């Protein structure tokens, strides 16, 4: 289906800002982007939709979420607010382990319905692509169950979904070495063969996996044709960011404890550095030095890290606002980090940008100013959200 969207007061590609812009779409792909007065004649016969002088940005890409889980951790949030540490709660069998128990108690249908409800909130915030990790199963059958739920989300959500198998922590009752061996030699090949994940991620940190265990798991992922990601340098510095760079991982995520050497390694390998402002601020951890990373040449992405414990964050805009204030990044850099750079963290050069050859995923603001949601804290003035050129969310009638 061919169509033109015109009447765009301001459009971020995100790299370039265009005024009085238009988009030409063919079957959900962008074939032309520019100022409407420059629209070539061959497109002028196509059906034209007028966006009424509104601002437009690319669909937001959330490249790091733990969207599927049972239960909640409100109680833990209140305890942490009183000063208990995330690490101490995890070591005492709470934290991730309490979500594992609640996830186990929920049926596949319940897990699906709850995650779908969360995905709808993300859609209302303009998120058109979601990476979703397993990792609250731990036991191999339970991880496969989580991946089946993610598969069903992928088949039914209007958004693009990128499924990731996550090695989160060693389950209770397992000998570490045996668990790592099972994960690398049995679970990863089975997941790869069934097409249940596109990438494998490892939580490499104190209380989770060591650097050498992480390497074993990621090398198994590569050997099975899967891409890799790492939860790196969040609580303590482990060397995981440099390992990610060495293995050509799609991304190294968190990065609160990284050093200039780590930034250099990420910049030279092209591995995206994904920062998670929600987790850093909610856990009262040092904020990652995003400015220095960006200036060192790291391709920086921002993600929500949505999960029931360390980051119960539903708003990508709040993550961008924290990065603007504390990074500090410019507003245009923050938008780039949550759109095109975030798409690179999923190996998807066709998402998160409004350029010729990209998917027509975009967010229409209820304002002529495309960056208004970065200015209004706690308010998302979004008029409509499009995925593959089709409107999947319209907040107000008309236009
Ligand atoms: Zn995470």
Strands 2-12 and 17-26: antiparallel
- Whether the model clears a pTM of 0.75, i.e. scores above it, the answer is yes
**254 C-alpha to ligand 1 centroid (Å):** 8
**262 C-alpha to ligand 1 centroid (Å):** 19
Residue 232 has pLDDT above 60, yes or no: yes
**305 C-alpha to ligand 1 centroid (Å):** 5
pLDDT digits (tens, 9 = 90+) for 326-381: 999 999 999 999 999 999 999 999 999 999 999 999 999 999 999 999 999 999 89
Q: Mean pLDDT in the chain?
A: 96
- The pLDDT-based confidence of 395 (bands split at 50, 70, 90) is low
**303 C-alpha to ligand 1 centroid (Å):** 9
pLDDT digits (tens, 9 = 90+) for 19-35: 999 999 999 999 999 99
**25 C-alpha to ligand 1 centroid (Å):** 35
Question: Would you state the pLDDT for residue 227?
Answer: 98
Mean pLDDT of 188-200: 98
**378 C-alpha to ligand 1 centroid (Å):** 23
**Would you say how long the chain is, in residues?**
399
Distances (CA, A) of 196 to 119, 206, 310, 342: 19, 28, 26, 21
Question: Would you state the pLDDT for residue 398?
Answer: 43
Strand partners, 133: 164
What secondary structure does DSSP assign to 163-183, as a single string?
EEEEE--PPTTS-HHHHHHHI
207 dihedral zone (left: phi>0; alpha: psi -120 to 50; beta): left
Distances (CA, A) of 167 to 56, 104, 190, 209, 213: 37, 16, 15, 8, 10
Domains located in the chain, CATH noted: 2-58+354-394 (2.30.40.10), 60-344 (3.20.20.140)
């Amino acid at each position: 289906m061919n169509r033109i969207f015109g009447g765009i007061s301001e459009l971020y590609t995100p790299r370039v800002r265009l005024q009085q812009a238009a988009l030409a779409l063919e079957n959900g792909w962008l074939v032309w982007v520019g100022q409407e007065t420059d629209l070539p004649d061959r497109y002028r016969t196509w059906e034209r939709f007028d966006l009424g002088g509104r601002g437009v940005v690319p669909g937001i890409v959330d490249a790091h979420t733990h969207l599927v889980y049972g239960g909640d951790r409100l109680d833990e949030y209140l305890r942490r607010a009183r000063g208990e540490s995330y690490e101490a709660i995890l070591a005492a069998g709470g934290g991730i382990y309490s979500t594992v128990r609640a996830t186990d108690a929920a049926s596949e249908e319940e897990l699906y319905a709850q995650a779908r409800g969360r995905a709808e909130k993300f859609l209302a915030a303009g998120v058109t692509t979601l990476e979703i990790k397993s990792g609250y199963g731990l036991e191999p059958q339970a991880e496969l169950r989580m991946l089946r739920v993610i598969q069903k989300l992928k088949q039914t959500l209007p958004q693009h979904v990128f499924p990731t198998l996550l090695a989160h922590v060693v389950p209770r009752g397992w000998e570490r070495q045996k668990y790592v061996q099972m994960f690398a030699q049995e679970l990863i090949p089975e997941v790869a063969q069934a097409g249940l994940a596109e990438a494998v991620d490892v939580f490499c940190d104190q209380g989770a996996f060591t650097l050498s265990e992480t390497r074993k798991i990621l090398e198994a992922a590569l050997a099975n044709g899967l891409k890799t990601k790492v939860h790196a340098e969040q609580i303590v510095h482990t060397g995981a960011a440099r390992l990610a760079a060495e293995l050509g991982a799609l991304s190294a995520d968190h990065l609160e404890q990284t050093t200039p050497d780590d930034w250099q390694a990420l910049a030279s390998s092209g591995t995206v550095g994904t920062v998670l402002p929600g987790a850093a601020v909610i856990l009262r951890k040092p904020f990652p030095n995003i400015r220095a990373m960006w200036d060192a040449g790291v391709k920086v992405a921002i993600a929500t890290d949505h999960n029931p414990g360390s980051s119960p964050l539903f708003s990508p805009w709040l993550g961008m606002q924290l990065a603007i204030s504390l990074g500090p990044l410019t507003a245009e850099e923050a938008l780039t980090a949550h759109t095109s750079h975030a798409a690179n963290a999923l190996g998807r050069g066709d998402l998160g940008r409004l350029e010729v050859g990209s998917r027509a995923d975009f967010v229409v603001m209820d304002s002529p100013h495309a960056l208004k949601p970065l200015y209004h804290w706690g308010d998302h003035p979004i008029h409509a959200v499009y995925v593959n050129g089709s409107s999947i969310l319209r907040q107000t009638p008309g236009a």
